[in-house]
Amino acid sequence: MQEVVAMVRANMVAATKNALSKAGCPSFSCTKCLGRGKKGMDPATLRMVMESGELPRTPAGESLTEVGRLIPKRLFNICVPDEKVEAVVKAIIEANSTGHPGDGKIFVMPVEESYVVRTGERADA
C-alpha cells in the first residue's frame, strides 16, 4: 500500500475529486493548507510560523497570505494499493496541470500498516 500526498491549487479541488473518482479512488482526505514554491522566504518569518503555528501580520495588519508570501492550497491524502498508484498520480497531474508554476506537487510514500479505528482490525486495503 502507498500513500499519495498531493498539494494542489485551492480552486482545483472539484477537478481533482472528479479525476480521483474516475481513476477508481473515491476515498481520500482533503485539508486546507498554506504553502509556497521555490521562491525564498525570510528564515526568521518561517521559523516564527513553524514555532507558533500562526501566521504573523505585516505592520499594516495584513496576514502573510494577503501579501503573497503563503498561498492557500489543498492537501489530498490518498492511500491506495501499489497497483493503483500510477493511475492516481496520472489523474492528479491531468486534473491540475496548467503549465504554470504553482500547479502543485505529489509525493508517494510507503504505508507499512493501517487499522480500522472502529474495530481495531488491521486493514489491508
Spatial separation of the C-alpha atoms in residues 48 and 92, rounded to whole Å? 32
Please tell me the predicted confidence (pLDDT) of residue 13.
95
Quick check: 93 and 4 in contact, CB under 8 A?
no
Please tell me the predicted confidence (pLDDT) of residue 53.
61
Please give the residue range of the domain that contains residue 79.
Answer: 2-110
Q: Identify the bridge partners of residue 4 per DSSP, sorted by sequence position.
A: 78, 108
Question: How far apart are the two ends of the chain, measured CA to CA in Å?
Answer: 8
Total domains, the chain: 1
Spatial separation of the C-alpha atoms in residues 112 and 109, rounded to whole Å? 10
Stretch 100-110: mean pLDDT, rounded?
91
Stretch 79-100: mean pLDDT, rounded?
94
Judge whether 34 lies within some domain: yes
For a pLDDT cut of 90, what percent of the chain falls above it? 59
Distance from chain centroid for Cα 7:
3
Q: Identify the bridge partners of residue 80 per DSSP, sorted by sequence position.
A: 2
Q: What CATH number does the domain containing 43 carry?
A: 3.30.70.120
Judge whether 121 lies within some domain: no
Three cell numbers, residue 64: 502573510
Query: What confidence tier does 109 reach under pLDDT thresholds 50, 70, 90?
Result: very high
Q: pLDDT, tens digit, for every residue of 25-81?
A: 989 999 999 887 765 555 665 666 666 666 556 566 665 544 456 788 999 999 999
